[in-house]
Amino acid sequence: MKSMRIVFLSVLLLFLVNMVWGQKSQKPKLTASAIKTSAKIDFGYSMYDSAITILDNGIQNYPDDPELHYLLGKAYFFKKNFAGMGEQFAIAESLKSDAKWMEEVKTVQKEVWSQVFNQGATAFNEKNYDTALVKFSSCNIIDRSNYRGFLYLGLSYTMKNEFDQAIAALKTGLKLSPDNPEILKGYGDVLLFAGKEKEALEEYKKVLEKDLKNQEILINIVAIYSTAKDYDQALVYSQKLVEADPAYKDGHFNMGTIYLQKIVNTTTALDSLKDKSGEYLKDEKSTARIKELTEKKNEYLASAQAAFEKTLQIDSTDLEAQVYLCQVYQEEGNIDKALTILEPLVQKDSTNCDALSQLAIIYAKQGVGDKAKETWKKAQDCMNKPK
């Protein structure tokens, strides 16, 4: 009989609640305590929809009662409405963070957050970014103090090229964990993708303060400076990159291409010191400047040669490195060295347009006219061939 009385009490309370809210013009007759009791009884019988209705109505009349919000969050938890749960738990905590049931709230939040986060991570790894966004958004409602939810929400938006939303999410994550390298990198990446290179550099350099050998960060910094044609800074960070990982082939290769750009700039500066006949100016100031630029060019050539040779030590099959190294050899006047690479290369790969062009130029310099013409035609046909 005892259990029957409990059932009757639940029904009676539900009936009274319905009467109260059926007469909206009248003052509520049920106390907050009675509403809580009714909801708890419904929990005991898995009547979660009924509990949600009672508690939702109760909150309209007692919005500052933290336990009502806690119980509604718990009801949402049972219904697996984790976003709703997170919202109500957050309100409950803001109203009274020292209540005895807050320990339960923290435990549930942690368990549910991990569950939803793992679902989001699975979706993210499967490149299902829409589902990932839903899951990570829910994580941030469940627990707004965990930076990882905002980090991966930002990364998901980044993968969808929705950069404004990504920036907003990652900014929130940074407020929660200001010095976190993972968020700083993610924030830097989205700024870079959004075309905010200067801001991206600031974030990347913050990462390097904590992780001097972060390869991805160093690669991005080199790319930013190279794109901005700040080759001196690009070389500084290229050097850091190869020091961090001496076996990183592309680090040496990119360093070589940066030196080639500096060689081009130096050659242009030297050409500006020539007269109409193509001869260098003879005045004292020009002569000093020509000497200075020539020495720099030779230094850059030697550095480029070392970078490409190192690339080929790591990977002797790198065709681009072979072609660029031959370009350096030509500039240095080491035509025989260039030939020992280019002739076997074009025999193996007759579609390498750059190699054919360089080989034609070398043949012309050697005075081998027929070979030069034949090879140049092959180079032109190669470049004009539809891709």
Rounded-to-10 torsion of CA 39, 41, 44, 47: -50
What is the structure's pLDDT at 97? 67
What is the structure's pLDDT at 255? 96
pLDDT band, very low/low/confident/very high, at 21 (cuts 50, 70, 90) = very low
Torsion-angle region of 334 (φ positive above 0: left; ψ -120 to 50: alpha; else: beta): beta
Q: Is 170:150 a contact under the CB 8 Å cutoff? A: yes
What average pLDDT does the chain have?
88
Q: What is the DSSP letter of 290?
A: H
Q: Which of 119-123, 204-208, 273-277, 348-352 has the lowest mean pLDDT?
A: 348-352
| Topology alike, domains 1-97 and 334-387 | yes
List the chain domain ranges.
1-97, 334-387
- Residues 118-122 have a mean pLDDT of 96
What is the structure's pLDDT at 26? 52
What is the structure's pLDDT at 372? 87
- Two structure tokens written together for 67: 């336990």
What is the structure's pLDDT at 10? 43
Residue 282 has pLDDT above 70, yes or no: yes
Kindly report the CATH class assigned to 334-387. Answer: mainly alpha
Beta-bridge mates of residue 274: 280
pTM (predicted TM-score): 0.75
Q: Could you give the percent of the chain with pLDDT greater than 70? A: 92
Residue 16 has pLDDT above 60, yes or no: no
Residues 6+ apart with CB under 8 A from 117: 135, 136, 139, 148, 149, 152
**Fold exhibited by the domain 1-97:** 1.25.40
Distance CA 280, CA 305 (A): 26
Distance CA 220, CA 218 (A): 5
What is the structure's pLDDT at 6? 40
- Residues 255-271 have a mean pLDDT of 95
What is the distance of C-alpha 313 from the center of its chain?
Answer: 32
Residue 319 has pLDDT above 80, yes or no: yes
- Residues 130-151 have a mean pLDDT of 93
